[in-house]
Amino acid sequence: MTNGSNPPYKRILLKLSGEALRSPGSMDNISPEIVARIAGEIADAHRQGGLEIALVVGGGNFWRGAKASVRGMDRATADYVGMLATVMNALALQSAIERAGVPCIVQSAIEMKNVAEPFIRLKARNDLADGKIVIFAAGTGNPFFSTDTTAALRASEINAEIVMKATSVDGVYDADPKKVPDATRFDTITYQECLRRELKVMDSTAFTLCMDNKKPIIVFDMHTPNNITRALLGERIGTIISQEH
């Protein structure tokens, strides 16, 4: 395991799935117990490594704009509803992270003065340098963009060294491991190989942003206990996607 006092990355953008905040099979959109576990792991890494951690969380536990548009809702309106869902998740995480003993700020791309600060790039960078965790909510503030794209964009804006995508699978495979039992997992892979193989790591806009701005991507399983802490502190888990092996 990497020494927590000397992690390889100082400033990290961690992307979390909104659906990971709910218990499987539960009617509750947010599980306070799961949120507390995730917040605790982030706080542990923050304390151990002296890291600067920014978060982007999806809204899929409440709403998926693309699915709603297929069912007849105007796509832009559906996406704005989804952006509001990410704000709810961000506030839940903020509360849990602060209970875990780390100051946390929510910046929203859609102005809502009573619950979150507006997104201001330089303030976010200063807050990170001051030891606060910053959560970027409400997507990019524009419809038709995913929270993966938000993660790639904000990572570039704050000069994060890496994008870490916490998912329900333990890395990138050459086929869907849920459908192909003998699918092979990559420890490392290049951006170009991902494109050549048409591997769906992120949507194309997000992936291109990371590739063009030379932001490595780590994909790992967030459901294994302590994996978030381990990934943030630099332990080699999951799959790393970069310019070269």
pLDDT in single tens digits along all 245 residues of the chain: 444 468 999 999 999 999 889 887 777 899 999 999 999 999 999 999 999 999 999 998 987 766 666 677 899 999 999 999 999 999 999 999 999 999 999 999 999 999 999 999 999 999 999 999 999 999 999 999 999 999 999 999 999 999 999 998 999 999 998 899 899 999 999 999 999 999 989 999 999 999 999 999 999 999 999 999 999 999 999 999 998 76
Q: Are strands 162-167 and 185-186 parallel, antiparallel or unpaired?
A: unpaired
- Is 173 known as a binding-site position? yes
Is 145 known to sit in a ligand binding site? yes
Residue 148 in marked binding region: no
Q: Is 64 annotated as a binding residue?
A: yes
Q: Report if residue 229 sits inside a domain.
A: yes
Q: What's this model's pTM, rounded to 2 decimal places?
A: 0.93
CATH number of residue 44's parent domain: 3.40.1160.10
Instruction: Answer yes or no: is 186 a known binding residue.
Output: no
pLDDT of residue 27: 77
144 labeled binding residue: yes
- 10 Å CB burial of residue 224 (0-12, 13-18, 19+) is exposed
| Structural domain contains residue 1 | no
Q: Is residue 66 part of a domain?
A: yes
Is residue 150 annotated as involved in ligand binding?
no
Would you say 74 is a known binding-site residue? no
Q: How many Cβ atoms are within 10 Å of 33's Cβ, its own excluded?
A: 9
Residue 233, annotated as binding a ligand: no
| Tally of domains in the chain | 1
Q: Is residue 55, in this structure, part of any structural domain at all?
A: yes
Within a domain: 31: yes
59 marked as part of a ligand binding site: yes
Does the annotation list 15 as a binding residue? yes
Does residue 43 sit within a domain? yes
Is 147 flagged in the annotation as binding? yes
Domain that holds residue 147: 11-242
Q: Does the residue 140 lie in any domain?
A: yes
SS3 call for 213: coil
Residue 3 resides in a domain: no
Backbone angles phi, psi at 173, to 5 degrees: -115, 160
The annotation status of 146 as a binding-site residue, yes or no, is yes
Question: Does the annotation list 17 as a binding residue?
Answer: yes
Query: Is 79 marked as a binding-site residue?
Result: yes
Provide the β-strand partners of residue 12. 53, 162
